[in-house]
Amino acid sequence: MTAANAYAAQSKTSQLAPFNFERREPGPHDVQIEILYCGICHSDIHQVRDEWGGSIYPMVPGHEIVGRITSIGAEVKNFKVGELAGIGCFVDSCRTCPNCLANEEQYCDNGMTGTYNGRDKEGNPTYGGYSTQIVVDEKYTLHVSENLPIEGVGPLLCAGITTYSPLRHWNIGKGHKVAIVGLGGLGHMGVKFAASFGAEVTVLSTSTSKKNDALALGADHFAVTKDADTMKSLQGSFDFILNTVSAQHDYNDYLNLLNLNGTMVVVGVPPQPSIVGAFNLIGKRRSLAGSLIGGIKQTQEMLDYCAEHGIVSDVEVIKADYINEAYERILKSDVKYRFVIDIASMK
Ligand code: NAP
Ligand code: ZN
Ligand code: ZN
């Protein structure tokens, strides 16, 4: 067993605070990683505060993990000690259902094992990346390039793949008019990927303050959703909308912005549902869809694409004792554009 220092929430109303626990000894197929950086995803806040239900405490959040391998099990084939490695949102799945066999482990019929707030096959709670160490089967471990600025890599493991995957699934590229709704952690990665794939990108934001950033990230246009005239003028203008909004909102407002055969993919997970009007779908044969992170194979493909194209997340690196304040800033949409914890500050 290896002692790990961490930050944990003890209940849905408590602040994150220092916590110690032990990681298992690496088994034959495991890699042990000394964590260097971990991103803060809005899903961490939803789960720490039990906004989706079923949260397990104490909870050590964090599923945007990058670090260096310090030891490997005897049977490990694809990783070496000293290499950089990444861990995303899940650390296991059944490996036998059709979705696991199709490299879509995130949709495992028997339920993937979340990196945190989950239970492993022995029923023990899983603890995430707000910690100094993690031990994971190599099958769920990603290769990370030495050529990218390492602070910006962690967020690729969730915000990156969650936006890359639907853009690839719907074959978005040149000739497509794409809107990204919400310029936060997911949204800013969505802008980078959609622009890199050749689409014409519009950012739809609640805040005028993010306009210059949106254009610098690669967007062609920027519009403020609180302005009724702007929203009216945008009706029917997009082929594809990636909706990353984390709080309750009305899907109908955005569905109306789709052109004929357009699709809105929801990746944001507000705790409250939105009622969808049939007329907003049938009028232009529109589709409303959802997408959950991405499988291990595609996550590696995304990381390799980022290494090739020099894409990372724009981050604000923080020390562990700033996590609670970072949460409050995220809730105010005051994040540019991902907080990343320097795990050295937990030692
Ligand atoms: P984030 O950094 O907080 O960004 C969310 C953005 O949504 C904000 O920056 C803001 O953008 C916009 N927003 C917030 N409240 C809004 C409101 N009331 N109305 C309209 N827009 C609003 O969060 P994130 O980490 O990107 O995560 C976004 C959501 O995706 C969360 O619900 C998270 O749980 C979910 N998620 C899903 C997956 C998946 O696999 N599907 C993976 C990761 C995360 P503006 O300031 O530009 O308006
Ligand atoms: Zn996440
Ligand atoms: Zn499965």
Which among 44, 105, 246 is the best mutation to test ligand 1's pocket, defined by most ligand atoms within 8 Å of the CB? 246
pLDDT at residue 231, rounded to an integer: 96
Which ligand is located closest to the Cα atom of residue 101? 3
What's the average model confidence in pLDDT over 287-313?
98
Instruction: Calculate the average pLDDT of the chain.
Output: 98
Same domain for 92 and 227? no
Same domain for 200 and 336? no
Query: Residue for token digits 């994040």?
Result: 335
Residue 306 lies in a domain: no
Residue 257 lies in a domain: yes
Q: How far apart are CA 140 and CA 325, in angstroms?
A: 31
| C-alpha 46 – ligand 1 centre gap (Å) | 11
Same domain for 150 and 167? no
Confidence of residue 294 (pLDDT cuts 50, 70, 90): very high
pLDDT at residue 117, rounded to an integer: 98
pLDDT at residue 38, rounded to an integer: 99
Residue 71 lies in a domain: yes
pLDDT at residue 130, rounded to an integer: 99
pLDDT at residue 102, rounded to an integer: 98
Share of the chain above pLDDT 90, in %: 99
Residue 145 lies in a domain: yes
Q: Which atom of ligand 1 is nearest to the CA of 291?
A: 41
Same domain for 114 and 197? no
Same domain for 101 and 183? no
Q: Give the domain extent around 279.
A: 160-290
Same domain for 56 and 119? yes
Tally of CB atoms within 10 A around 173 = 14
Q: Which atom of ligand 1 is nearest to the CA of 159?
A: 43
User: Which residue's alpha carbon is nearest to atom 4 within ligand 1?
Assistant: 184
Which ligand is located closest to the Cα atom of residue 189? 1
Same domain for 270 and 201? yes
Confidence of residue 182 (pLDDT cuts 50, 70, 90): very high
Same domain for 142 and 216? no
Which ligand is located closest to the Cα atom of residue 96? 3
Residue 307 lies in a domain: no
pLDDT at residue 5, rounded to an integer: 98
- Written as six digits, the tokens of 333 are 């949409």
In terms of Cβ atoms closer than 10 Å to its own Cβ (0-12, 13-18, 19+), residue 77 is exposed
Same domain for 153 and 164? no
CB 173 within 8 A of CB 199: yes
Confidence of residue 329 (pLDDT cuts 50, 70, 90): very high
CATH number at residue 249: 3.40.50.720
Same domain for 228 and 213? yes
Residue 213 lies in a domain: yes
Residue 262 lies in a domain: yes
Q: Into how many domains does the chain fold?
A: 2
Note the pLDDT tens digit of each residue in 186-213: 999 999 999 999 999 999 999 999 999 9
| C-alpha 326 – ligand 3 centre gap (Å) | 35
What's the average model confidence in pLDDT over 129-145?
98
What's the average model confidence in pLDDT over 309-321?
98
Residue 263 lies in a domain: yes
pLDDT at residue 121, rounded to an integer: 92
CATH number at residue 107: 3.90.180.10
Same domain for 118 and 220? no
Same domain for 139 and 191? no
CB 3 within 8 A of CB 22: yes
